[in-house]
Amino acid sequence: MLWKKESNGNDSMYVDLYALNGGRASFDKVDCFARQGKPSSTFNKNGVVSLQKRNEGDKYFSQGKWTRAMELYGESLCYAEHGSKNVNLAYANRSACFLKMKRYNECLIDIELAKEAGYPANLIPQLDQRKEECLKAIDEGAQPVMFEPKLSFEPNENFPCMANVLKIDRDAQGDLGIFAKEHIDVGQTIVVEKAFMTYLYTHHGWKCNICLKEYGNFVPCKKCTVAMFCSEECQGNSLHKYECGLRYSDSVMMNGFIMRVVRGCLLAIDMFSDADELMTFVEQAISSDRNQIPSTLLDEKSQYEAFLKLPIKPASTEHHEFMINLTIAFSAQKLLMRIPRVNSMFKLEKYRRFFMHFITHQYQVMENNSFICGSNHDDMDDDYVPFESRTGLMIGYKKHSCAPNVMVSRTVGHKFGLITVRPVMKGQQILHAVIVPLLTLSKRERHQILWQDRKMLCKCARCEGVTASKVLCKRIQSDPDYQYITQQSIPPTRGDDDAKQSMQTMIDKCERFLRQYGQTAWCNEFGRVVTIYMTLVDRQ
């Protein structure tokens, strides 16, 4: 099968790497480059390492750095041999972190996990005392309410991640977009999307390997050292069954880039019974109209079709970038072929060419439509930045603008949402800034960043010169809410009641300001308030 090379503006729908790089012979060079990685296994349970992790966690616990200590106890669990004493000791120590963090339900669960794993009988009274503290705190109503993004409206019938006040339609250029069906106020959550694909690069003791949930009662994979799970559903996820033990390199970033592609391919492969079925589906999706309005995103195959149609960057003409992209795809192929089911599906030569094209397209989609982010927890070291990747589908329908009317909300596990930062009138399109710092930069700076990062040339109203008049800017500068918002410091994330009240006051003033000036042309003053509002909502 040969795939047709198509182009739609800046969105190259398919890149034939064989043709671009001079045919099969050039792959030998890529193979040599790919071998610079050191493939190794994650089947390396080790009691000594488990003990070291737990002792290190104890040091952070004594310093009051509960999050860091909890993660190290999780890593201790990852390395502990199944059934060893390291398992029950790590659960018990982690329960102490939960108690300090006032997460009493999680503390109780870890206490039971420690007992079930054979916690020493002479130490059981300590756990029982900890249990009594939790039960007392819960009776007194001290259990904190955990943040969970929720739609401000009823969900759309065919697109449940989207509010029923929205619809997917074509814009004036014929591209798909999200539009308001009625007036939407500031501060409304209009999209809560579960990421189509996630990948955890590092810090495996802190998050669920499948859904990226954090601060949970994670249980480790019994075989490998890089996976913990928050639930039976995640533990039974077939993706890890294929991945378990695979590692391309000891380099976190190199391994993450390649294993992310491996997971994305496995997600697709697992939907189909054989290579022919996958090939037919992918070819039809790629060759069909990318701007066809989807009828639903309820089932996994309709979601996968939408994923395949997400925009990708045009093929790079820079040799080093091309070689990096090609190496990642080629290395992912080599890892995938080590998986028995994948090897049997693509064993015949007639499937191999498709397979490389398939991997390349998966990688290009993820590269252009994923959020790669880290942590900013106060009790972590400055250089301690875990990275995870989330690839969503709705991003393909959100149009970029340097004068956005929505922001991406704080993520919780594999869920993230969109919150309005300006009033959205009926018929208006949902606009978001792919890079938040763009809100207060000059046009030259914005375009430079967009081109370097996304190969994107923005033609939004602001970039076309539609901005607020000097008279309006002066009026905004003299507005009491504007002066209050810009002169106050943002309250700490973990503050007392006064700090929480101060944060709510600032949010209220921001929303009042944004309602008043939300339909006017953009200016830097407005961008400054939007940026502050985004930070406040994200920390709330």
pLDDT in tens, 495-514: 667 878 888 999 999 999 99
Query: Does residue 42 form part of some domain?
Result: no
Judge if 190 and 207 occupy the same domain: no
Burial, 538: exposed, middle or buried (Cβ in 10 Å; 0-12, 13-18, 19+)?
middle
Judge if 233 and 367 occupy the same domain: yes
Query: Does residue 57 form part of some domain?
Result: yes
Judge if 261 and 344 occupy the same domain: yes
Residue ending a domain, among 401, 426, 461, is 461
Judge if 412 and 442 occupy the same domain: yes
Query: Does residue 86 form part of some domain?
Result: yes
Query: Does residue 379 form part of some domain?
Result: no
The string of pLDDT tens digits covering residues 255-270 is: 888 999 999 999 999 9
Judge if 274 and 209 occupy the same domain: yes
Query: Does residue 184 form part of some domain?
Result: yes
Closest CA to 361 of 322, 309, 323, 318: 309
pLDDT of residue 146: 66
Query: Does residue 529 form part of some domain?
Result: yes
pLDDT of residue 326: 80
Judge if 278 and 204 occupy the same domain: yes
Across-strand partners of 390?
198, 371
Judge if 476 and 501 occupy the same domain: yes
The string of pLDDT tens digits covering residues 309-356 is: 988 866 655 666 677 778 888 899 999 999 999 999 998 888 988 999
Rounded distance, CA 487 to CA 532, Å?
11
Provide the sign of the torsion angle of the four alpha carbons 53, 55, 59, 65, taken in this order. Answer: positive
Burial 497-513 (b: 16+ CB within 10 A, else e): eeeeebbeebbebbbeb
Judge if 274 and 331 occupy the same domain: yes
Q: Assign residue 440 the CATH number of its domain.
A: 2.170.270.10
Judge if 242 and 202 occupy the same domain: yes
pLDDT of residue 374: 60
Judge if 87 and 173 occupy the same domain: no
Rounded distance, CA 191 to CA 391, Å?
15
Q: Assign residue 111 the CATH number of its domain.
A: 1.25.40.10
Residue 274 DSSP one-character state: S
- Provide Rg for the chain, Cα atoms: 25
Please spell the DSSP secondary structure of 57-97, one letter per residue.
HHHHHHTT-HHHHHHHHHHHHHHSPTTSHHHHHHHHHHHHH
Judge if 449 and 519 occupy the same domain: no
**Mean pLDDT of each 10-residue bin along the chain, 540 residues long:** 35 38 39 51 91 97 94 96 94 96 94 96 95 93 73 93 94 90 95 91 89 91 94 88 90 85 95 95 91 88 93 66 79 93 91 91 87 57 61 85 88 84 95 82 90 84 91 94 90 72 91 93 91 85
Domain containing 316 equals: 7-36+198-373
Residue ending a domain, among 316, 345, 373, is 373
Rounded distance, CA 105 to CA 134, Å?
8
DSSP H or E run through 285: helix 275-287
Domain count, the chain: 4
The string of pLDDT tens digits covering residues 371-400 is: 777 654 444 444 444 478 888 888 778 888
Closest CA to 370 of 529, 260, 220, 507: 260
Judge if 23 and 82 occupy the same domain: no
pLDDT of residue 252: 80
Query: Does residue 380 form part of some domain?
Result: no
| The two three-digit tokens of residue 6, written as one number | 């198509």
Query: Does residue 2 form part of some domain?
Result: no
Residue ending a domain, among 339, 373, 407, is 373
